[in-house]
Amino acid sequence: MGSPLASLSTAQTALVLTAFFAGLTVVSTALGFALERALPQRRIFAVPLFEGQHRFELLGNAIFLAVTVTTLTAVSRADVIAFGPPSLLRDALTFQAMLVSFQVYYWFLHRAMHTRALVRIHRWHHRSQVTTPLTGQSMSAGEALGWMGAYAGLPWALSHVAPLGFRGLVAYLAFNVFGNIVGHANAEPTAPIAASRAATWFANAFVYHALHHARWTGHYSFQAAFMDRVMGTEWNDWPALYARIAAGHPLTSLKERGDTP
């Protein structure tokens, strides 16, 4: 069974994908900035943005969306991802398979982009040392193509194991976009119980990734700490910095360190 988009023309497919990803980006960005305004007492970094940062990040978002729509339009027209009949179980398994495989894929992609050979394509994203909701999708075309290896390549590979659920894939992509954008907000909404070591096997506190932008190395994971923990790239002082932020004391320098055991 092919994609439900396969019956559309190329122009129609591009329009549907543009509406989906651009709409998600606008809504998620608005919610991310609303989160920052709602939690001024839980600001992560009390450090100024660089001059023109929002304009720079808007351009990066436009690049990401252009690459995403172009790539997924081509993949949809090629009809290379196998989808099964609609099923809640199939959708749930598709969502879970994408959730886990994306995190593994992204750690290796992200770590590779910090090597001398590939760092040039990642510098755009790291221009934002203090993050905003616009930071998540602010990247070069080369890095955006790396993301397409997950957005398009992972579903293609997984569908060779078993046909995917179309709704499950759409739900995961929406979850991914929303989490990436809102997760770059410069505020810490995470409750203490959700910022525990046990909980961060599944989802990180916001400061976790904020430290990657400030320090450049370590914390290469997406969403959860489990790949950093397994690969030994987790900073052990982030819980102390989380506690400081949760107590209403933002970090005043990109070089701040927390107390470690």
CA distance 94 to 146: 21
First to last CA, the chain: 54
Number of independent structural domains in the chain: 1
What's the rounded Cα separation, in Å, for the pair 34 and 185? 9
- Cα–Cα distance for residue pair 256/258, rounded to 1 Å: 7
Considering the domain boundaries, does residue 74 fall inside one?
yes
Question: Which residue range is the domain that position 217 belongs to?
Answer: 4-246
pLDDT digits (tens, 9 = 90+) for 130-168: 999 999 999 999 999 999 999 999 999 999 999 999 999
Does some domain include residue 164? yes
Rounded CA Rg of the chain: 19
Does residue 88 lie within any of the structural domains?
yes
The pLDDT tens digits of the residues spanning 171-212 come to 999 999 999 999 999 999 999 999 998 999 999 999 999 999
